[in-house]
């Protein structure tokens, strides 16, 4: 993996900065073709690898030079290094023989979507940053909402809306902060120490971390059994006390695109927010977590910022969504669009039903 540098400060003559073309379209075309072939071959032969890495702690340090390379390697050599040095240290989540954590199922459509997202390098923090990015995310979030039969109160076509987060952890953190601020606006910041977050004993363990960040008391959570809580019953109790209710459907929630499993979301109209992760069971790559909220104004009030250098006519008027105010990161709807446009709803439903049938004990 490269030759050790002899003098890190002095640039070698072979790398004349005047001739350093870091984004040559033809060079990209050649290397990208090789990279796609490499990944396709990896998928084709993935069952030949042990599912769990056999590497020992610190194995990679002994295979790499202590300093960055002084001269560049050919791309073919780099791919050989990946094959020989990195793949032995990878746990193969995509292997049909992998049964840990959650089924990291992906698809060729999602792969192409990731390529396009990376290639455009578009930033959707504000509508003006990349109008197509913001508007496309709004469209695909409503698409998925329709597939889940969410009420209009959660969609842009109604009074709510959705956003693509990176992970469930970010979605949970965002909703806890929004719920916290809603209460503090009523009782005063001086009472922050009185706040408590209630969670099922099957709640995702990451919510404990989110509660620490938001300075709220919490009990331990777990996701060990993929149990499903009675959404309607819990929401009815919470509604009596004006408690924010968030449903984390990270893994199992994806199955609710099928009519057979949609009843698990019965009562969803009574909650304030919902999130699920297409990268866990809907053929998307990590990281992709979709979250819907009933009242977008509350999330914007809690997470929004408005620095002078980002102000523009459209965001100031409130006529367009500024996704930077809905999350910690920025938007990434293009990958979902390519994936959603490639697979019809019926195909995805069939995939889910087949998956569940295969998992049943016979």
Note the pTM of the prediction, 2 decimals. 0.86
> Which stretches within the chain are classed as H helix?
25-44, 75-81, 108-120, 131-147, 168-187, 206-214, 231-240, 278-281, 296-303, 313-317, 333-342, 345-359
Please name every residue paired with 162 in a beta bridge, in sequence order, or none if there are none.
Answer: 292
Exposure string over 110-135, b if 16+ CB within 10 A, otherwise e? bbebbeebeeeebebbbbebbeebbb
Alpha-carbon distance of 132 to 121, in angstroms, equals 13
Tens of pLDDT, residue by residue over 158-215, are 999 999 998 888 999 999 999 999 999 999 999 988 888 888 777 777 888 888 888 8
More confident residue, 352 or 55: 55
Q: How distant, in Å, are the alpha carbons of 21, 177, 345 from that of 174?
A: 41, 5, 29
Q: What is the mean pLDDT of residues 9-29?
A: 70
CA proximity to 163, closest of 16, 299, 312: 299
Looking at residue 220, its pLDDT comes to 59
> What is the C-alpha separation between 188 and 341, in angstroms, rounded?
47
- Mean pLDDT of the region 48-67: 92
Residue-range domains of the chain with CATH: 13-89 (1.20.1340.10), 108-359 (3.40.640.10)
Residues pairing with 163 in the sheet: 291
What's the whole-number mean pLDDT along residues 259-283? 93
DSSP string, 89-128: G---TTSTT--SSS-----HHHHHHHHHHHHHT---SSGG
Query: 242 with 234: CB under 8 angstroms?
Result: no
In the predicted model, what is the mean pLDDT of residues 335-360? 68
d(CA 293, CA 275): 9
Residue 164 host element (H or E)? strand 161-165
Neighbour-count burial for 82-107, b at 16+ CB within 10 Å, e otherwise: eeebeeeeebbbbbeebeeebebbbb
How large is the average pLDDT for residues 117-131? 85
């Amino acid at each position: 993996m490269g030759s050790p540098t002899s003098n890190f400060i002095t640039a070698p003559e072979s790398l004349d900065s005047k001739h350093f073309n870091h984004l040559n379209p033809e060079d990209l075309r050649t290397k990208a073709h090789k990279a796609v072939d490499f990944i396709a071959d990896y998928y084709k032969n993935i069952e030949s690898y042990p599912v769990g890495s056999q590497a020992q702690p610190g194995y990679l340090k002994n295979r790499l030079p202590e300093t960055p390379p002084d001269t560049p390697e050919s791309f073919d050599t780099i791919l050989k290094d990946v094959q020989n040095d990195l793949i032995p240290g990878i746990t193969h989540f995509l292997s049909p023989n992998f049964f840990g954590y959650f089924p990291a199922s992906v698809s060729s459509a999602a792969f192409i979507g990731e390529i396009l997202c990376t290639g455009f390098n578009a930033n959707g923090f504000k509508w003006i940053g990349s109008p197509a990015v913001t508007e496309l995310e709004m469209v695909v979030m409503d698409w998925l909402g329709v597939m889940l039969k969410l009420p209009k109160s959660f969609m842009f076509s109604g009074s709510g809306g959705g956003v693509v987060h990176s992970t469930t952890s970010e979605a949970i953190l965002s909703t806890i902060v929004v719920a916290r601020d809603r209460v503090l606006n009523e009782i005063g910041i001086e009472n922050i120490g009185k706040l408590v977050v209630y969670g099922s004993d099957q709640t995702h363990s990451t919510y404990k971390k989110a509660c620490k960040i938001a300075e709220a008391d919490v009990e331990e959570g777990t996701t060990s059994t993929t149990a499903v809580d009675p959404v309607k019953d819990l929401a009815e109790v919470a509604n009596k006390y004006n408690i924010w209710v968030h449903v984390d459907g990270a893994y199992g929630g994806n199955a609710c695109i099928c009519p057979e499993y949609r009843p698990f979301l019965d009562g969803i109209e009574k909650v304030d927010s919902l999130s699920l992760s297409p990268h866990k069971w809907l053929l998307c790559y990590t990281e992709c977590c979709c979250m819907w909220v009933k009242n977008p104004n509350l999330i914007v009030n809690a997470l929004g910022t408005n620095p002078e250098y980002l102000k523009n006519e459209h965001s100031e008027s409130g006529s367009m969504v500024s996704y930077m105010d809905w999350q910690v990161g920025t938007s990434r709807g293009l990958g979902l669009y390519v994936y959603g446009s490639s697979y019809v709803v019926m195909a995805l439903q069939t995939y889910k039903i087949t998956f569940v049938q295969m998992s049943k004990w016979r």
